[in-house]
């Protein structure tokens, strides 16, 4: 049994709490939030206890691992404190919006030698994982083109946009990680065209809500990722890997299976309402992979270094947007 | 070059005329119709000549083959006359609505030894043919269940219904033939439930417009065929063969490939408007198969005997409808 | 909070236990099984207590409702005891394989006036429920043909087959219930053709493993249900409602969303491995509906009477199989 | 009746010949090819005559229209000669690989005032045309992202590659035209990343075989077009228009409709073998549109000017490939 403390009891924290409680290899012991009432709600629901303070978590000999799901600006500090305390760490992305700060936090964790994993949960989506396994097994041959679509149903609140780091660091970063993971390769050049087409106030906040990123991989393969903050048809996520002998696709997924035949049309149930409905199951699988790695003495994956690398791509992508020109990515 | 005469210049005759004109192995020489104006229209369009009479066709030494596409009640006579004249014969189904008359016509053709084929063109539909090839190659294992759907967009005129021989002999018969062909087996029992659900006047004409036929094959396999004369969504044809190791389906086909994503629905282009749009291409392929057989000295398939056998099933099915009970099929 | 006792801790009991524990409106208090060890496993996992006896459940003032998930031959007795004790009841199907015994148990529950529901959970499958709502809203017009497919991946153990009551009472019964529920109508005639095509030993046990049921509804609509105990491709469930203006389908569902394009083929992820994976989510929804009804003072649905009615159809279907002839269903 | 002469009797010329012969509003009178034997084959097949020379076409008072389907380097000259002769013109793309030469030819035709159309036949594909109509009708709202995929089954012969003008001018140009037509807008910036991933000899010929073009439209909308010369799975063409309220897709099309269910996979029939199978029907529709415009006195569309504009985009795209940087498109 891994004895877990959860830091952060917001929406995504409550999702993690449910999974921590349901996992047979986990004892969900403590939960902490700056808003104590939120922590209590979760504690009551899942028979956990509210930690009186963060120190009560980091100094407790009865806690083996922490799940960092608090606000982004706390991640780096908590990573360092957890590492100093010798806890295993599962951390929500990103590490820190400032790349240098992220690097120093990762260095601290690495030096401490504790198991640590960045929660890029899409790697654990059953279809994306199968796609990657197929590509790794050579079902598409040598990878030549990768296409990804990432489109959410509605523009987040402007307050969120302003502190999010921008579309590349906040939304597209998940797909930069998937790109590295699926292609088993790194991009060396990125060019992003973008604009605030969904909401002009996004431009006022210095960001875009619609963009296409074009990347060239070390291997020479090409990649395209389109990102949109608002669709008229729910949540749209799609990956396609085209190679020398075939193509593998993790396609759009319908939320229900009914078809209606009328006149010259067939009306099908559409896509999931939001990202959460689409990838909810991957959160449990990510947690389970972390547990398996920690129990088996293996390094959890994706590592914090994977988190850094996705962020490095997002930085270059953001620069490309600002300059209106391709930007090299130096590793 | 096979020198062809076409008998019958109605809608389906005009389709055959186009194919006769387009086929590189055919010299489309003569066309005949009781309505000479219709024959002339076709003759002009395709550089053929109007036959002055049926005798002019049957006695001509410049005609190798006849395509009988005139009204049903003439088929048996024309089959016999063509056989007596030594012509190769491609004949629209059915041979004759009266089974005894059909038998005697087939006997005459058989005795004459001329190549003859019944135009069950669905056997030449690319998807149905692939389904059958897959089943024959064992992709579904031993056949256990066959499902067929045959649904047309609108109830034919009552005048047509009255002389059609009924839904079993007119519509479902195509699928009785497909059943024998795909299963490479004959049914030994049939039970049909049916009613005039689309148009009560069909009941007054002594017929049904909606039915499900349940059949048991000699091998023990089971079959279900649902037939409807009117849908609200175009033409619906589907075949599914379930066997001991898998299932093969020749599915519904969309007439165009556009999808529209709006809200929580996806609106796809629907099915073909009518049977003709769905299976048009099979007419040419059927003709081509006839030409190939005649040129190669092989017996064309499906044979007139296949036509008789489908009719025998349709007879039993019609009896079952009338009796409200299963009926054995004696071969 | 509804205080629940679970009777039966086998496979399906463990599924119910998980849902009882997860439901916010339920206090999962007691669990009982003839095999005490099984009950204890569940009790430990979900923080419930093991009931020392059935009496300890029925006489406890701290239990509001019982979930009967024990072996079929105990259902009737437990229904009566629970009714006598004034407990609300959620009961796995069937009520009793002997129709008379089932009737008397239902009468006892009805007389006691306790809320009771038969667990036909497929009514709570999101797609089937949407299909029914669409049909009820008139999206297909007047119902004319209903098609259902029910095919499981493998023949159950012969020991199970022997006590199951036969394919109609054990497997097809779920679809007899769906038929009544979707059509809002009852069948008045049924004819089933069946055979032991998957495993000849099923025939020795007096049963079939492959069948097609043909039914005529009071409204005149026709229905076809094919049932198979063994497929080579996982679990296959499909419903299609054809009506006067359109068709609505709750189609086959893929278990994952990956497509592989190679040569002239596309290899898609297939169907779910088994029935449980396909309809797992419906168990929670069924439980939730029961809770909602009990809390709201409404009669839970489907009622025990619905359970009886599906069984009446299954009886007639079984007779039809035995006689090789259509059988009227008298209500 | 429009009396037509066909110039060019190669593969695509033979396709046009068949359509010219089949069209009821056309008298297919003359055919010319530098290889007289090829012209004769077509003349015999379709009851046309071989023109003794090009002059015999341009000076004939019995020819109303010419179809220019000869080799690319002859188009500009023949356009000018046909215009001078007052013939209506249907011309295969491109006008001329040299943009200046293309401009002068178009100017000559414009000055002559004859009806002229560039044969961008994909505009007449039923699905693409429906997509465009849907977008024009506002079904996707304001256009924000356009995605196109253009992938052919195999790298053309190197000899062809060398004279083709490169992937942008030869392959992607069709989609530059579709982009303008569907978006009813022009791109103002293009950046292409490409490489010879399918065959290194393509790089030696100074070309790429795999590329992604990123474009920004005047409206601010973004576009991505990926082009590949070789797939392992046939011909892949797809267009998707994402807008403010929805998305419309003209999707991949299967060449046949059979599905095979085995184990945990479904094996579907795949894509068409080549571009010709996919878009064959659009050639007739393009010809029909030309006939309709000429007969109705309207300007045929797409115009030669549309041909020039697609070429202007292809020029900028080619420059971008060479420079490795985005290139503005000045109109």
Residue D111: C-alpha distances to residues C19, C116, D79, D83 (Å):
79, 87, 12, 9
Nearest CA in chain D to C233: D263
DSSP-derived secondary structure for C281-310: HHHHHHHHHHHHHHHHTPPPSS-HHHHHHH
pLDDT digits (tens, 9 = 90+) for C93-107: 999 999 999 999 999
Determine the residue among A185, A232, A320, A329 to mutate to test chain D binding: the one whose Cβ has the most chain D Cβ atoms within 10 Å.
A232
CB D220 within 8 A of CB A197: yes
Size of interface B-D (CB pairs under 8 A): 75
- Does the distance separating the beta carbons of B264 and A268 come in below 8 Å? no
Residue D60 token pair:
């004939």
Phi first, then psi, for residue C221 (nearest 5°) are -60, 155
A53 located within any domain: yes
B276 located within any domain: yes
* A257 in B contact zone (CB under 8 Å): no
* B258 in A contact zone (CB under 8 Å): no
B298 located within any domain: no
CB A35 within 8 A of CB A9: yes
Is C184 found in the same domain as C105? no
Q: Using alpha carbons only, what angle is made at residue A228 by residues A226 and A232, rounded to the nearest 5 degrees? A: 125
Determine the residue among C172, C179, C197 to mutate to test chain B binding: the one whose Cβ has the most chain B Cβ atoms within 10 Å.
C197
- Stretch B168-175: mean pLDDT: 97
B297: left (phi over 0), alpha (psi -120 to 50) or beta: left
D16 located within any domain: yes
Closest Cβ–Cβ partner in C144, C212, C325 for B210: C144
Closest Cβ–Cβ partner in A127, A252, A258 for C130: A258
> Is the bond preceding residue C295 a cis peptide, omega within 30 degrees?
no
- Does the distance separating the beta carbons of B268 and A265 come in below 8 Å? yes
Pairwise CA distance, residues B239 & B176, whole Å: 12
Residue A258 token pair:
């009914």
- Does the distance separating the beta carbons of C246 and B232 come in below 8 Å? yes
CB B156 within 8 A of CB B233: no
* B48 in D contact zone (CB under 8 Å): no
State CA A136 to chain mean position distance.
21
What SS3 class is residue B92?
Answer: coil
* C266 in D contact zone (CB under 8 Å): yes
- Does the distance separating the beta carbons of C210 and B212 come in below 8 Å? no
> Is the bond preceding residue D272 a cis peptide, omega within 30 degrees?
no
- Does the distance separating the beta carbons of D266 and C270 come in below 8 Å? yes
Is A248 found in the same domain as A141? yes
B98 located within any domain: yes
C158 located within any domain: yes
pLDDT digits (tens, 9 = 90+) for D59-70: 999 999 999 999
Write the CATH number for C21: 3.40.50.720
Q: What is the 3-state secondary structure (H, E, C) of C208-241?
A: CCEEEEEEEECCCCEEEEEEECCCCCCCEEEEEE
pLDDT over 90 (residue B47): no
Write the CATH number for B247: 3.30.360.10
What is the number of structural domains in chain C?
2
DSSP-derived secondary structure for C32-88: E-SSHHHHHHHHHHHT-EE-SSHHHHHT-TT--EEEE-S-GGGHHHHHHHHHHTT-E
Residues 6+ apart with CB under 8 A from C190: C213, C214, C215, C216, C313, C316, C317, C320, C326, C327, C329
Pairwise CA distance, residues C87 & C65, whole Å: 5
CB A238 within 8 A of CB A148: yes
Mean pLDDT of all residues belonging to chain B? 97
State CA D252 to chain mean position distance.
18
Is B322 found in the same domain as B177? yes
pLDDT over 90 (residue C47): no
Best CA proximity match to D244, nearest among C163, C17, A232, A236: A232
* Residue D309 exposure: Cα atoms within 13 Å on the Cβ side: 20
Pairwise CA distance, residues A102 & A104, whole Å: 6
Size of interface B-C (CB pairs under 8 A): 112
- Does the distance separating the beta carbons of A248 and C259 come in below 8 Å? yes
Residues of chain B in contact with residue A265, where contact means CB-CB under 8 angstroms, are 267-270
Is D148 found in the same domain as D35? no
pLDDT of residue A61: 96
| CA trace torsion C25, C29, C34, C35 (10° rounding) | 100
Q: Centre a 10 Å sphere on the Cβ of residue B179 and count the other Cβ atoms it contains.
A: 25
- Does the distance separating the beta carbons of C268 and D268 come in below 8 Å? yes
* C264 in A contact zone (CB under 8 Å): no
pLDDT over 90 (residue A47): no
pLDDT of residue C306: 98
pLDDT digits (tens, 9 = 90+) for C163-200: 999 999 999 999 999 999 999 999 999 999 999 999 99
pLDDT of residue C261: 98
Closest Cβ–Cβ partner in D265, D269, D271 for C269: D265
- In the block, tokens 């046309």 appear at D48
Residues of chain D in contact with residue C234, where contact means CB-CB under 8 angstroms, are 263-264
- Does the distance separating the beta carbons of A257 and C248 come in below 8 Å? no
Is B139 found in the same domain as B94? no
Pairwise CA distance, residues D242 & A13, whole Å: 33
- Does the distance separating the beta carbons of C242 and B231 come in below 8 Å? yes
For helices D126-136 and D275-296, the axis angle rounded to 10 degrees is: 60
Q: Centre a 10 Å sphere on the Cβ of residue D53 and count the other Cβ atoms it contains.
A: 9
Pairwise CA distance, residues A32 & A56, whole Å: 10
Q: Centre a 10 Å sphere on the Cβ of residue C280 and count the other Cβ atoms it contains.
A: 15
B289 located within any domain: no
Is B106 found in the same domain as B223? no
pLDDT over 90 (residue B307): yes
Is B186 found in the same domain as B322? yes
Boundary residue ending a domain (C114, C149, C175):
C114
Boundary residue ending a domain (C65, C81, C114):
C114
> Is the bond preceding residue C302 a cis peptide, omega within 30 degrees?
yes
CB A143 within 8 A of CB A185: yes
What range does the domain containing A65 cover?
2-114
pLDDT over 90 (residue A300): yes
Best CA proximity match to D238, nearest among D284, D194, D271, D262: D271
Is D62 found in the same domain as D93? yes
What SS3 class is residue A232?
Answer: coil
pTM listed for this prediction: 0.96
> Could you tell me which residues are beta bridge partners of residue B237?
B150
Is B82 found in the same domain as B189? no
Mean pLDDT of all residues belonging to chain D? 97
pLDDT digits (tens, 9 = 90+) for B89-148: 999 999 999 999 999 999 999 999 999 999 999 999 999 999 999 999 999 999 999 999
pLDDT digits (tens, 9 = 90+) for D16-35: 999 999 898 999 999 999 99
CB C152 within 8 A of CB C235: yes
Is D76 found in the same domain as D16? yes
* D257 in B contact zone (CB under 8 Å): yes
* D221 in A contact zone (CB under 8 Å): yes
pLDDT of residue D47: 87
Strands B265-269 and B143-151, by their bridges, are unpaired
Nearest chain D Cα distance for residue B117, angstroms = 26
* Residue D118 exposure: Cα atoms within 13 Å on the Cβ side: 27
* D155 DSSP assignment: P
Burial of D61 (0-12, 13-18, 19+ CB in 10 A): exposed
Is D204 found in the same domain as D106? no
Phi first, then psi, for residue C9 (nearest 5°) are -125, 35
Nearest CA in chain D to B258: D250
Determine the residue among D257, D268, D273 to mutate to test chain B binding: the one whose Cβ has the most chain B Cβ atoms within 10 Å.
D257
CB B7 within 8 A of CB B70: yes
Nearest CA in chain D to C255: D264
Best CA proximity match to B161, nearest among B207, B99, B95: B207
* C263 in D contact zone (CB under 8 Å): yes
% of chain C at pLDDT higher than 90: 98
Given CA atoms D231, D232, D237, D242 in this order, what sign does their dihedral have?
negative
Residue D163: C-alpha distances to residues B72, C169, D196, D205 (Å):
59, 73, 17, 10
Nearest CA in chain D to A141: D232
* B271 in A contact zone (CB under 8 Å): yes
State CA A190 to chain mean position distance.
20
Pairwise CA distance, residues A314 & A310, whole Å: 6
Residues of chain D in contact with residue A228, where contact means CB-CB under 8 angstroms, are 144-145, 242
- Stretch A80-93: mean pLDDT: 97
Residues of chain D in contact with residue A151, where contact means CB-CB under 8 angstroms, are 242
Residue C303 token pair:
């009622």
- In the block, tokens 């036969």 appear at C166
pLDDT of residue A282: 97
* Residue C117 exposure: Cα atoms within 13 Å on the Cβ side: 25
* C126 in B contact zone (CB under 8 Å): no
- Stretch D87-104: mean pLDDT: 96
Residue C286 token pair:
């069924």
Is D191 found in the same domain as D71? no
- Stretch D117-125: mean pLDDT: 98
Residues of chain B in contact with residue D252, where contact means CB-CB under 8 angstroms, are 257
Boundary residue ending a domain (D74, D93, D114):
D114
Q: Centre a 10 Å sphere on the Cβ of residue D80 and count the other Cβ atoms it contains.
A: 17
* D326 in A contact zone (CB under 8 Å): yes
Residues 6+ apart with CB under 8 A from B248: B131, B134, B135, B139, B140, B240, B241, D258, D259, D260, D261
B300 located within any domain: no
State CA B110 to chain mean position distance.
21
């Amino acid at each position: 049994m891994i004895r877990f403390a959860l830091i952060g009891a917001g929406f995504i924290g409550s999702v993690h709490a449910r999974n921590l409680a349901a996992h047979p290899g986990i004892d969900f012991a403590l939960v902490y939030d700056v808003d104590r009432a939120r922590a209590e709600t979760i504690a009551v629901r899942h028979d956990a206890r509210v930690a009186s303070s963060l120190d009560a978590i980091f100094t407790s000999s009865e806690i083996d691992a922490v799940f960092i799901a608090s606000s982004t600006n706390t991640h780096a500090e908590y990573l360092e404190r957890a590492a100093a305390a010798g806890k295993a760490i599962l951390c929500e992305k990103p590490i820190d919006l400032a790349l240098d700060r992220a690097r120093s936090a990762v260095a601290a964790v690495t030096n401490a030698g504790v198991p640590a994993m960045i929660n890029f949960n899409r790697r654990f989506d059953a279809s994306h994982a199968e796609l990657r396994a197929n590509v790794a097994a050579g079902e598409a041959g040598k990878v030549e083109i990768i296409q990804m679509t990432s489109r959410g149903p509605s523009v987040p609140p402007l307050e969120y946009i302003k502190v999010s780091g921008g579309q590349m660091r906040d939304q597209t970063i998940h797909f930069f990680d998937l790109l590295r993971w699926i292609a088993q390769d790194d991009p060396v050049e990125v060019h992003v065209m973008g604009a605030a087409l969904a909401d002009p106030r996004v431009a006022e906040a210095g960001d875009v809500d619609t963009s296409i990123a074009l990347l060239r991989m070390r291997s020479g393969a090409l990649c395209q990722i389109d990102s949109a903050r608002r669709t008229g048809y729910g949540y749209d996520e799609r990956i396609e890997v085209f190679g020398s002998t075939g193509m593998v696709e993790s396609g759009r997924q319908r939320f229900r299976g009914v078809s209606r035949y009328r006149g010259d049309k067939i009306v099908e149930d559409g896509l999931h309402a939001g990202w959460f409905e689409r990838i909810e199951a991957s959160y449990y699988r990510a947690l389970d992979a972390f547990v398996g790695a920690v129990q088996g003495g293996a390094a959890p994956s994706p590592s914090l270094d994977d988190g850094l690398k996705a962020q490095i791509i997002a930085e270059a992508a953001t620069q490309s947007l600002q300059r209106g020109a391709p930007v090299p990515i130096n590793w």
